[in-house]
Structure 1
């Protein structure tokens, strides 16, 4: 699992999410599917390293205001960028939540669960999720694709889970890859600094556990998204087909591209 994580200087949570067993005993090709946080702080060495991965498709799940705020030192020339201009916010939604009079760890987890319930049906995400699968179906043998958001954990985590499911990856391995964020993003090491930053900005005195859901992931969050999909669409396959346009033919094409 350590080989999946590509340690970079200014890009968090960059890793290969191929390599798992997929449909009919085949394996998802390594070096074809990547996930990460944003590239606004990418170093020159990061850009040189990323250039070696042959990434030609980038699905950027950030809102337009996030793209403007973070910037983007990548992609390089020739990368097909997928994004949506829907869903603009003035302030980050989780920051508005944290501005409330009093917040505890369970409230933070509840906010994150609620976000995951809504996320699979948000128009901006549906738009870019759909484009992602369209481009996977057209991916050439010498090309790779990457999905990112701000931290590469929630919006990205849902799309990676859906991609794995479309490729026949087991639910156990879907959760293994999802929870690898906590290691890849060095959540335990970053929490004290994040706590100090947010407490200073918000004039609060919250402990680490209040901020942990906004830096890392918990199984219950992705479970909430899957339960929401099953509740609203019936099952993951129906959601893929009716909401994202991944019918049987497109799924089979993607499998032929990405399974070996």
Structure 2
């Protein structure tokens, strides 16, 4: 588990859920480094002074065009490489919500099964030699971002327990104030469905179970969808050394 929890959430810009994924133990005892990979909700960054301290080289924005228009972040002017990589879960929502005791878990598994090449390509962007420090974000930093970050952490050897705990921290930060402050078109959650606003560890654990059962783990899932083994080795080294 994390040993430096006060450093994990970063009060930069108007974000609610900007977090550093440093200080998680990897399988062989090394730990992820602070300041290499961040996850976040979307916000407007109008002052680059605080953001400059992160030294970001890459931002991966998982939102679609309508979401970007509804809430422009301003990061294009502050970060050298801002990549739009839409990962739209909405076509999968109706099936996930239908009769499932864990609709978010069902949604994450559906993303895993239906968006494999796209998800792998997104993780592949992080394996480039000059990609880090990087920020991955969507609207709330919970669902699309949660799936991508879970795959990254699991693929480099972080335990399922810590992957689930990192995901569940979102529930502490996406408060009622967050949902009240965002534009309805931002895509952070369907305002009509409270079930989509949570972040229970069981939901991301459902994804991890399917990764193991159907693919032999996150690393095999990514390599099976086109990410080279050596690229994952590079990402592990870049995140831990």
**Shared fold, TM over 0.5:** yes
Which is greater in Rg? 1
| Structure 2 residue aligned with 1:190 | 177
Query: Does 2:145 align with 1:135?
Result: no
Report 1:73-222 matches (<5 A).
Answer: 73-84=74-85, 87=88, 110-123=102-115, 126-127=117-118, 129-139=120-130, 143-185=132-174, 187=175, 189-190=176-177, 193=180, 211=194, 213-222=195-204
| Structure 1 residue aligned with 2:63 | 62
**Distance in 2 separating the partners of 1:4 and 1:18:** 8
Partner SS state of residue 236, structure 2: helix
| Structure 2 residue aligned with 1:253 | 234
| Structure 2 residue aligned with 1:100 | none
Q: Does structure 2 conserve the Cα–Cα contact (< 8 Å) formed by 1:120 and 1:126? A: no
Q: Which has the higher helix share?
A: 1
Gaps of 5+ in 1: 98-102, 198-203
In the TM superposition, what is the alpha-carbon distance from 1:44 to its structure 2 partner? Answer: 3.1
Q: Aligned residue pairs: how many?
A: 228
The verdict on how the C-alpha distance between 1:5 and 1:111 changes in structure 2, with shifts beyond 3 A counting, is same
RMSD: 3.3
Which whole-Å deviations, capped at 9, do the CAs of 1:179-204 have from their partners, x for residues lacking one?
1111233x3x538958xx9xxxxxx9
2:32 aligned to 28, 33, 58, which one? 28
Partner SS state of residue 53, structure 2: helix
Q: Does structure 2 conserve the Cα–Cα contact (< 8 Å) formed by 1:82 and 1:131? A: no
In the TM superposition, what is the alpha-carbon distance from 1:224 to its structure 2 partner? Answer: 2.2
Partner SS state of residue 44, structure 1: coil
**Distance in 2 separating the partners of 1:66 and 1:8:** 21
| Structure 2 residue aligned with 1:72 | 73
Report 1:217-228 matches (<5 A).
Answer: 217-228=199-210
In the TM superposition, what is the alpha-carbon distance from 1:252 to its structure 2 partner? Answer: 1.5
**Distance in 2 separating the partners of 1:237 and 1:249:** 11
The verdict on how the C-alpha distance between 1:108 and 1:73 changes in structure 2, with shifts beyond 3 A counting, is farther
Which whole-Å deviations, capped at 9, do the CAs of 1:202-231 have from their partners, x for residues lacking one?
xx9x8xxx62x4333011211222233344
**Distance in 1 separating the partners of 2:128 and 2:27:** 16
Partner SS state of residue 72, structure 1: coil
**Distance in 2 separating the partners of 1:70 and 1:108:** 31
Q: Does structure 1 conserve the Cα–Cα contact (< 8 Å) formed by 2:165 and 2:201? A: no
TM-score (norm 1): 0.73
